[in-house]
Amino acid sequence: MRVLVSGAAGMLATDLVPCLQKKGHDVVVPSESDLDITHLEAIRRWTGSTRPDVVINCAAYTKVDQAESEESVAKVINGLAVQNLCLACQEAGIPLMHFSTDYVFDGDKTEPYTIYDHPNPINAYGRTKLLGEKYVLWLLRKFYLVRTSWLFGLHGNNFIETMLTLAKKQRRISVVNDQRGCPTWTRHLSEAVVSLVESGCYGVYHATNSGPTTWFEYATEIFRQAGTGTEVLPITTDQFPTAATRPKNSVLDPFPITEVIGREMPTWQEAITQYLQERGASPKS
């Protein structure tokens, strides 16, 4: 299978490309300057010249708090650029895999969000990602729309690195304990979506590492495995105000990706263990 990947320099694409290549796929990875998805003609040139079997869009505006003051910029990347990809794929009859976020939901539900639940974002980032989702649903028949959450990876800034950096400076760290979600390692996500695209089963999916947690519990497990001895103090969202409002609950129900690819994704605790091993830390058992 020939795969055209956008957003080559990002944290997700940097893990996804080797996963595709390991499975024997021919991967075309233009630089972000060569494939600027905000320009429709640029996408048309690449789809026309490479004739991919599928396009995977890893490009996104992901600065959740900054999006509150840059919503117009985020709309272009997370919304209109996705429209461009959809139009080019529609014209050429190419399936598109596009990634979205748990932040399209408002967090009012007490149970995990399913693919059947109605999105209702409460921040600018979520609104712009929902716009991208709508273009996929409006314009395409063959697509994989994959929502994921709380991403961390070796090739980008993430919560684990932030916590480990703070642990070098502080013995006690306060972390929010009233927001629930699913941490997800880009490596495990990449392995899952490669299996998904190989299945040819189009549709909407939720893909995260298994099991819900809070940021406080997440941080506590990071420090336990890294052996830092850091004390973690639980606080409320009100005690740690941010520019963007976060949903209280953004846990994603994994149905039906487990059924389609034939396996569950590893737990978020297992993901931390493997991540720390890969980055050279020495996890504590």
Name the residues annotated as catalytic. 125
Nearest-angstrom CA–CA distance, 254 and 142: 21
DSSP summary character for residue 176: E
- Answer for the pair 105, 121: CB distance below 8 angstroms, yes or no: yes
Q: What is the 3-state secondary structure (H, E, C) of 197-254?
A: HHHCCCEEEECCCECCEEHHHHHHHHHHHHCCCCEEEEECHHHCCCCCCCCCECCECC
| Neighbouring C-beta atoms of residue 70, cutoff 10 Å | 17
Single-letter residue type at 161: E
Picking from 189, 234, 204, the residue whose alpha carbon sits closest to that of residue 96 is 204
Token output for 96: 């598109």
Q: Which residues contact 269 (CB under 8 A, 6 or more apart)?
A: 211, 221, 225
| Neighbouring C-beta atoms of residue 24, cutoff 10 Å | 7
DSSP summary character for residue 56: E
Question: At which residue do the structure tokens 């297992």 appear?
Answer: 270
Nearest-angstrom CA–CA distance, 49 and 235: 53
